[in-house]
């Protein structure tokens, strides 16, 4: 039976990426399959795999077709998380595709990979429509 594993992010600087994503999502790095080119990140509560980091030499896509959406429940949380993530090494990306009154903010991880912080209180009908 086929089942979804987890998202994998291509990175250039593995130690920097591990430090960033473990701090952002309260994850822990595992020795499972670990190498210079791969690190598996687990949920800190031990509930399973969360994210894979793979060394990549390909350039970052400015508008990737697949990306991460990270959810918050309020606009205040969204603003606080954006500030926290920028403090951890994320960057605010110049995103020219925002709709009027967006429910999301686009950031880049330390490698420049875009991801979104989505405010679910602003999402239509309790759902979200991201970038």
Residue-wise pLDDT tens digits, 90-100: 999 998 899 99
% of residues, the chain, pLDDT over 70 = 95
Asked if the structure places residue 118 within a domain, the reply is yes
> How many folded domains does the chain comprise?
2
If asked whether residues 28 and 72 sit together in one domain, one would say no
The confidence score (pLDDT) of residue 128 equals: 47
Mean pLDDT value across the chain: 92
- Domain of residue 89, CATH code: 3.10.180.10
Asked if the structure places residue 13 within a domain, the reply is yes
Q: Can you list the pairs that 97-102 forms with residues at least 24 positions away whose Cβ atoms lie under 8 Å?
A: 97/63, 97/131, 99/129
If asked whether residues 91 and 49 sit together in one domain, one would say no
- Residue-wise pLDDT tens digits, 43-56: 999 999 999 999 99
- Residue-wise pLDDT tens digits, 16-74: 999 999 999 999 999 888 999 999 999 999 999 999 999 999 999 989 999 999 999 99
Asked if the structure places residue 2 within a domain, the reply is no
Core vs surface per residue 56-85: b (16+ CB within 10 A) or e: eeeeeeeeeeebbeebbeeeeebeebbeeb
If asked whether residues 49 and 72 sit together in one domain, one would say no
Report which of 30, 33, 26, 29 is spatially closest to residue 18, judged by C-alpha positions: 29
Six-digit token string for 66 = 């697949």
Asked if the structure places residue 16 within a domain, the reply is yes
DSSP 44: T
User: For residue 22, what are the domain limits?
Assistant: 7-55
If asked whether residues 74 and 121 sit together in one domain, one would say yes
Q: The pTM is what?
A: 0.87
Asked if the structure places residue 63 within a domain, the reply is no
């Amino acid at each position: 039976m086929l089942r979804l594993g987890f998202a994998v992010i291509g990175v250039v600087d593995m130690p920097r990426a591990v430090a960033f994503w473990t701090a952002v999502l309260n994850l822990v790095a595992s020795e499972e399959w670990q190498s210079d080119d791969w690190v598996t990140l687990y949920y800190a509560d031990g509930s399973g795999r969360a994210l894979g980091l793979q060394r990549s030499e390909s350039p970052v896509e400015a508008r990737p077709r697949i990306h991460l959406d990270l959810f918050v429940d309020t606009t205040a949380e969204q603003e606080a998380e954006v500030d926290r993530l920028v403090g951890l090494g994320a960057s605010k990306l110049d995103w020219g595709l925002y709709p009027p009154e967006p429910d999301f903010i686009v950031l880049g991880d330390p490698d420049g990979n875009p991801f979104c912080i989505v405010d679910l209180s602003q999402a239509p009908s309790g759902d979200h429509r991201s970038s």
